[in-house]
Structure 1
């Protein structure tokens, strides 16, 4: 099961994996490992230096808007809806109990005298 955290923690062996029985020279392997690790490390730093502050600004604005909408629009709309639907559900419940309960009781009493028997003949 891959999680986001495990996807972001990529090591050299996760990307360049030589199968058993196929190995390059030790010097090549070590140089490749060093090149990969140093490149990943410095490019991350470089990209963070260039795009870190603008991306932080964009994500900050996005989550501020999301929080604002959630607090001032979404939750009040949902609560308002629940209050309205509660009133409607009570009226609906009263109507169902008033009209349907007697009908189903009468139908139940009509069919309560029916008896079914099962015979097994050999």
Structure 2
């Protein structure tokens, strides 16, 4: 077995594992260059920002566009959609401003609190449910359907032949007979 010997064509690489948060190290305010990460070329950098795989990924959560497919467009509710005063009946300006502010604050913070309490358990349950459904479909339903389709190829061929021999001529002749009929509507 060939083994790599020390001292033969070996290149020594220095890796700095120091803390990057030390302010005294970077006085000219340049970012440290990591030796283990290659810098992308100009083309790669453009492709990174324009690639749909990076923008919509199954493994990386989307922070800016959280509803990219517009599933919850019906939930875009504002204060004016819920509370509206007609011109004839108006409350004071301060009441309207405070109502608007409290509505927005309550809507945002109650949603945040409920999402903290419910998002993680619902995500786990949804992931578990979809994993079970996918596993069941991939390993049970699809093979059974394929077995049935393979076993009934002769029936599919037989049914196709019977339709072509018996039903197609009857429907073709009925279509030709009814094709000569026309309906004229006249007002009396």
| Range of TM-score over shorter length | 0.5 to 0.7
CA-based RMSD of the aligned residues comes to 2.8
Partner of 1:23: 90
Partner of 2:74: 7
Do structure 1's residue 54 and structure 2's residue 118 form an aligned pair?
no
What are the residue-to-residue correspondences of 1:1-122 with 2, within 5 Å? 4-93=71-160, 96=162
Q: Distance in 2 between matches of 1:100 and 1:7?
A: 52
Please list the CA deviations of residues 10-61 of structure 1 after superposition, one character each: whole Å capped at 9, or x if unmatched: 1111111223433221111111111110011111111112222111111111
Which one is further off, 58-67 or 80-89?
80-89
Query: Structure 1 regions of 5+ residues with no counterpart?
Result: 109-122
Q: Distance in 2 between matches of 1:78 and 1:87?
A: 15
- TM-score normalized by the length of structure 1: 0.65
User: Which contiguous aligned blocks of 4+ residues in structure 1 show a shift greater than 6 angstroms?
Assistant: none
Distance 1:28 1:93, change over 3 A: closer
Q: Distance in 1 between matches of 2:126 and 2:112?
A: 19
Equivalent position SS for 1:36: helix
Structure with greater contact order relative to length (CA < 8 Å, sep ≥ 6): 1
Equivalent position SS for 1:64: helix
Which one is further off, 66-75 or 38-47?
66-75
Normalized per residue, the structure richer in helix is 1
